[in-house]
Amino acid sequence: MNPQNAAADPEVSCFLTANAGSGKTSTLVNRVARLLLRGAKPEHILCVTYTKAAAAEMQGRLYERLGGWAVAEDEKLADQLRAIDENPDDLATARALFAKALETPGGLKIQTIHAFCEKLLRRFPLEAGLSPSFQVLDDLIARDLAQKALEGLLTLPEGAHRDHLIRTLKAQKFEQLLSQFIYQHDRIREALDTLLAAAEHNGLSFSGYLFKRLDLDPPMTPEQVVDAFADGLNWDVMPEMARSLATINTKGNQSLSETLLRLSEARKNGEPFDFETLHAVFYTAKGEPRKDLCSSKSAQADRDTLERWREPLAEAVEKRKAAETALNTLYTLRLFEDFSVIYQDLKRRTGALDFQDLISRAKRLLSGATMSQWVLFKMDGGLEHVLVDEGQDTSGDQWDIIDALVDDFFSGAGAPIFQARIDRTIFAVGDEKQSIYGFQGAKPDLFLGKRQYYQTRAERAGKRFVVPQLVQSWRSLPQVLGFVDSAFDAPDLSEALNFTAERILHDARRSERPATVELWPPIYPLPVPDLGESDDEDIAPVDASGAAPAKRLAQQLAFHIAQDIKQGRSVIDKGSRQARPMHAGDVLILVRKRDALFEHIIRELKQAGVPVSGADRLKLSDHIAFQDLRALMRVCLQAGDSLSLAAVLRSPLCDLSEDDLFTLTRDEKASLWQALNRLAEDNPRFSEAQNFIGWALSEAPQRTAFDFLGLVLNRRDGAGRTQRQRFVTRLGVECEDVLDETLNLALKGEGVGAIGLIDFLNLCEFNASEIKREQEEGGDRVRVMTVHGSKGLEAPWVILPMAPGFKSTRNDDLLLMSDEGDLLVSARGKDGDPEAVSALKSARALREAKEGLRLFYVALTRARDRLTLCGYRGSRAANGPFPDWYDLAQDGFDRLPREAVVGVELDTVVEFGAPKAPSEKWEPVFGSAGASKNAHEPSEKTELLLFGERAPLMTAEAQAAQIQTGLPTFISAAPTPDPEADVVWRAVSQLSDEDRSAEDRAPSPLAEQKGQGRFGRGLKIHKLFEILPALPVADRDDVAARWLKRQPDLDDAQRDEIRQAVMGVLTDARFADAFGPDSRPEVALAGQVGVNARGEAVFMSGRIDRLVIGPERVLVIDYKSNRPAPDSAEEAAADYQRQMAGYVALLRQIYPDKSVEAALLWTDGPKLTPLSEALVNLRLSEIRGH
């Protein structure tokens, strides 16, 4: 049995470790399919995934598998069942699974843990102590509530601990601490609960336990530590020592004498002890011990006395650090408790839960002694099989929920009343080497611990339990995986990845051709040019930024990508397994964070003409499109804000140039808005900009932020382009997401009271919304993203540009936590930290360094055919426990067999520079194909290291042949006519083309229309006739004016003309019956009006504008806005007459006992023109073809 089938065996519980690309998703799908084949009910299976995308992918693949079984031929289906170790005779069962899965109420349970918890709580809200109508907070509302909680925190009347922290931490660090309360709230709560439990276990108060944890027993404040030290000094010898030192005529001894005398006098007078002054005697300003306390050998006795004080002083220094840390931690946690109480109260009052609440509430519900068994039983009769994806990234609380769900599987309790065909099982798949979400609470060692826990429980219960490994890779070619194994072939690296010193090995199953693994030489900073006496002194430093290593690396990458696409470098197609020319979508560029290198790469790819999808995540407030709209709103609130107005004028909203701005700002006495108004008369560009700004100023006061932004983006310029189109034209398609998210933010803002422009701008001040842009395989653009975002993705060519000296942003956290639950505050920096805090920092650094190695592993294993490693050097070198990524790559090449690595000249378009230190020089390694005799002799040329082979270029003929064979056959096949398509439903206005001119025919709805046109005017009139008659008479005119005001394609004159036309009809007493209580708007109508001369049924469909149904008469009315209006219905267009005749024919069938009449209501006049009986019958005979 192969490892995949062993792991998918539905009768055994399993914890599967799967290397990257080894087919874990296929194994999950196979296991669920085999469970269903063995009789497990779909509603009794739960599959927990890490992301929504993973859930959607797995569900899609499962339905594809089951759907394929439903229609497969017998022989093919039998082979497929045999391939997964199932009975090939179970054909009927396999074919029925697709329908069975579709018919399962609620569908298959393949969902994220948060989605599962939400569904659970909605089913059992009362048992969980929740309102049945609770809502789940999205990020925006959660941040808004957290911000309100912080504001409430700062206004608490009792705040001694808060005030102490403000004094101790200063403003900037205090703000850092408060922000940490928000983004690490759940982890702080978990650590605090751990500390409280530990204190209770040791029979201590929380403060007592905290001080004891810092070796302060009994607890002492910093002042008490200083006082205790002072009391231990021999004050009696201090005056004599000072006088002795005063006799030695040196500057150092004189200063020391004065210090000792001052301390002695202060002690004698009962003044507080100046600890810092004495500390300065023994230590320098940098905290280093002074070597010579006395500068004369004659003062040996005094020197010995002072040296005896050094050790107690050092102890006091450490104790004071510990006491300050304990006190700051205690006060911080009290402040956190205050914040948490306010935050929870705000959520409770709004009836809302955040994502962590879903987890904690579900955990409490499933762990309760009285309610859990009832809940578990009522969950569709109980769960029998639980599958966990990405087990290495599952947090402790999430595992607690899974534990509660499967606890009975190994105890025998809670077994279903009707015995299942197979034992209840748990299945988890993960790879500790790919655990990269530590900042979200993931602990890779927890996955290993859970594996041991369930294995032990299964053995005790006599259940089968397996722990297979999938080392075979179906994604990458052998050279890619060979390099990965070499890069981590060191005991400390292996231990960091998979918690064992054993070598990491992969078994590549692909063999189409050799892969390409290349390491480029690093790019070094260039010397800063000497500007001398240059006249361009202000500009030269800006121009010199082009020499930045990150920019040069991006230029080099863009050149090579464009070159390989143009030359037709081949890749192996994933579907056909045949070579084809590469395209932009085959390239995946991975960076560690979205920094300057990230931006340079996207910019340079665009400059090189390479299609690129843009950033995988966009921070809304950082995007220029959002900033432009924000500037516009600021101008609308204050037209004199010249800075914001300048931003608007330069934006796509007005599209003025820099020269235009210089022209507007020549008059220094006038504001920018005044200058624009003055110059608009003589300059068409200024005039258009002034009209737009003036329009915005008039609209903004009466609009919500959402309405205003919608109007702005839909407003058309003189050329008929909307502002949205102008943004996209100038900033690219990615700004579409930004514009949409800005509108979403404004709409969500209304839910938290941010309705007007001022409220929305305030909301934007602390909004940190990010747009996640899905960049899955299959597009034709280069994808540039972080390694975290690439989890689960792959590409034929992966490029890993590496920046030096990575520094985690979490190093700035003041509140430090360990995996074991320690929690301390670092307030003074590294020099002021006690040993316990330093230990926490060191542990955090090691933990993050190990996660950095796992991140490097994830990046390398995304590549299928080609892996390019490159980077640049900077002034900041790596100082962590492991080498940086570029050094790891170099070490990996050094460990490869020398004959397998060759040096290849690299085409360059930038200067690579040279290292400052000789020891850093680039040393290409050559094998048999190299030109150098000495493997470590630096080459004069710019060369890269190559492991494997370069993919060949495809000839023009081969590319053409590949494109030809790639076309599906249906492209050239004629469509098969449908013999049964005899009946055509048509609108009554289109029953005959006779007498219809081209201008009478309706325009295509897809055609771009400039302005409103006559059809746009008519549609708006129809809409007003639909909504106004239902309103009180007194409100109609105002509602019409406000509705028309929201139509961006109308000017004021057009709005007024339409309003008067509509109100002229509604206020005319002649038409009172048409809009009375017996009338109905927009009535849909369809049916058969007769049989034509060929014996074919004639069907019609339409929508009546107004239908009046009286006791004896039915009147059908259609609005017409043509100008000028005809005097009689006989003079109206034939289409209109046929339309009304068709309505009459259908209504006579519905109301055979009533008189049915038709009339056209013209807004020009207004006038009502009834159709005579003779005219109706004439047009009906035309329709029927008689």
With the C-alpha atoms ordered 155, 157, 158, 159, is the resulting torsion angle positive or negative? positive
The domain defined by 617-772 carries CATH number 1.10.486.10: yes
Percent of the chain with pLDDT over 70: 84
How confident is the model at residue 935, as a pLDDT?
33
* pLDDT class of 941 with cuts at 50, 70, 90: low
For range 1092-1097, the mean pLDDT = 74
Max CA distance (Å), the chain: 137
Annotated binding residue 25: yes
For range 479-487, the mean pLDDT = 95
Burial class (CB in 10 A: 0-12, 13-18, 19+), 126: exposed
pLDDT digits (tens, 9 = 90+) for 164-204: 888 888 777 888 888 888 878 888 888 888 888 888 988 98
* pLDDT class of 251 with cuts at 50, 70, 90: low
pLDDT digits (tens, 9 = 90+) for 972-1028: 555 555 444 444 444 444 555 444 443 343 333 333 344 445 457 777 888 888 888
Q: Which amino acid is at 982?
A: D
- Give the helix ranges, DSSP H, for 1046-1172: 1052-1066, 1134-1150
Tokens encoding 460: 């005790």
| Average pLDDT over the chain, rounded to an integer | 83
* pLDDT class of 948 with cuts at 50, 70, 90: very high
Of the listed ranges 233-242, 494-503, 938-947, 1165-1174, the one predicted with least confidence: 938-947
- β-strand 863-871 against 465-466: which pairing, if any? unpaired
Question: CA 398, CA 633: separation in Å to the nearest integer?
Answer: 44
Q: Which residues pair with 1108 in a beta bridge?
A: 1079, 1115
- Give the helix ranges, DSSP H, for 900-1011: 956-966
The total of other beta-carbon atoms located within 10 Å of residue 1007's CB is: 6
Angular region, 483: left φ>0, alpha ψ -120 to 50, beta rest: alpha
* pLDDT class of 938 with cuts at 50, 70, 90: very low
The distance of Cα 1074 from the centroid of its chain, to the nearest Å, equals: 54
Domain limits, the chain: 3-134+355-470, 137-350, 516-529+542-615+782-807+856-948, 617-772, 986-1008+1068-1184
Q: Which amino acid is at 737?
A: D
Coil, helix or strand at residue 78: helix
Q: Are 186 and 194 in contact (CB under 8 A)?
A: no
Annotated binding residue 26: no
pLDDT digits (tens, 9 = 90+) for 367-388: 876 777 888 878 766 789 999 9
Question: CA 5, CA 27: separation in Å to the nearest integer?
Answer: 7
Query: Which residues, other chains included, contact 302 with Cβ-Cβ below 8 Å and sequence gap of 6+?
Result: 241, 244, 245, 294
Query: Which residues, other chains included, contact 985 with Cβ-Cβ below 8 Å and sequence gap of 6+?
Result: 1086, 1099, 1100, 1101
Q: Are 1020 and 1044 in contact (CB under 8 A)?
A: yes
Please give the helix or strand (H or E) that residue 344 lies within, else none: helix 300-350
- β-strand 507-508 against 617-619: which pairing, if any? unpaired
Query: Which residues, other chains included, contact 877 with Cβ-Cβ below 8 Å and sequence gap of 6+?
Result: 804, 805, 884
Question: CA 342, CA 145: separation in Å to the nearest integer?
Answer: 9
How confident is the model at residue 522, as a pLDDT?
92
Annotated binding residue 325: no
The domain defined by 516-529+542-615+782-807+856-948 carries CATH number 3.40.50: yes
C-alpha distances out from residue 1033 to 956, 1036, 1044, 1069, 1107, Å: 74, 6, 18, 13, 20
Q: Let me know if the fold of 3-134+355-470 is the same as that of 516-529+542-615+782-807+856-948.
A: yes
Of the listed ranges 35-44, 118-127, 149-158, the one predicted with least confidence: 149-158
| DSSP of 1048-1083 | TT--HHHHHHHHHHHHHHHT-GGGTGGGSTTEEEEE
Query: Which residues, other chains included, contact 462 with Cβ-Cβ below 8 Å and sequence gap of 6+?
Result: none
How many residues does the structure list for the chain? Answer: 1186
pLDDT greater at residue 105 or residue 1175 = 1175
pLDDT at 1184 over 80: no
Question: CA 921, CA 914: separation in Å to the nearest integer?
Answer: 7
Question: CA 742, CA 106: separation in Å to the nearest integer?
Answer: 34
Burial class (CB in 10 A: 0-12, 13-18, 19+), 744: middle
For range 213-222, the mean pLDDT = 86
Q: Which amino acid is at 1107?
A: L
Question: CA 176, CA 816: separation in Å to the nearest integer?
Answer: 13
- For residue 1014, which of 1119, 1122, 1118, 1117 has the smallest C-alpha distance? 1122
How confident is the model at residue 979, as a pLDDT?
45
Calculate the CA dihedral of residues 21, 564, 942, 557 and round it to 10 degrees. Answer: -70
Token pair 């003409």 is at which residue?
609
Q: Are 799 and 589 in contact (CB under 8 A)?
A: yes
Q: Are 425 and 388 in contact (CB under 8 A)?
A: no
Q: Which amino acid is at 1075?
A: F
976: DSSP letter: P
Annotated binding residue 23: yes
- For residue 1143, which of 1072, 1074, 1096, 1087 has the smallest C-alpha distance? 1087
Q: Is the N-terminal amide bond of 1166 cis, ω within 30° of 0? A: yes
Q: Which amino acid is at 339?
A: F
Coil, helix or strand at residue 405: helix
Annotated binding residue 22: yes
Percent of the chain with pLDDT over 90: 34
Q: Are 17 and 470 in contact (CB under 8 A)?
A: yes
pLDDT greater at residue 808 or residue 150 = 150
CA angle 542, 543, 549 (to 5 degrees): 95
Q: Which homologous superfamily is 3-134+355-470 in? A: P-loop containing nucleotide triphosphate hydrolases (3.40.50.300)
- For residue 1102, which of 980, 988, 958, 1012 has the smallest C-alpha distance? 988
Integer Rg of the chain from CA: 39
The distance of Cα 353 from the centroid of its chain, to the nearest Å, equals: 20
Q: Are 1027 and 1079 in contact (CB under 8 A)?
A: no
Annotated binding residue 51: no
Query: Which residues, other chains included, contact 812 with Cβ-Cβ below 8 Å and sequence gap of 6+?
Result: 176
How confident is the model at residue 137, as a pLDDT?
85
For range 1112-1127, the mean pLDDT = 86
Question: CA 641, CA 676: separation in Å to the nearest integer?
Answer: 13
- β-strand 45-49 against 13-18: which pairing, if any? unpaired
Question: CA 1066, CA 1025: separation in Å to the nearest integer?
Answer: 8
Query: Which residues, other chains included, contact 933 with Cβ-Cβ below 8 Å and sequence gap of 6+?
Result: none
Question: CA 705, CA 753: separation in Å to the nearest integer?
Answer: 11
Question: CA 889, CA 488: separation in Å to the nearest integer?
Answer: 9
Q: Are 939 and 910 in contact (CB under 8 A)?
A: no
* pLDDT class of 545 with cuts at 50, 70, 90: very low
Question: CA 1073, CA 1079: separation in Å to the nearest integer?
Answer: 8
C-alpha distances out from residue 478 to 485, 504, 568, 907, 1090, Å: 10, 14, 23, 26, 74
The helix/strand count (H/E) of the chain reads as: 41, 31
Of the listed ranges 510-519, 871-880, 984-993, 1107-1116, the one predicted with least confidence: 984-993
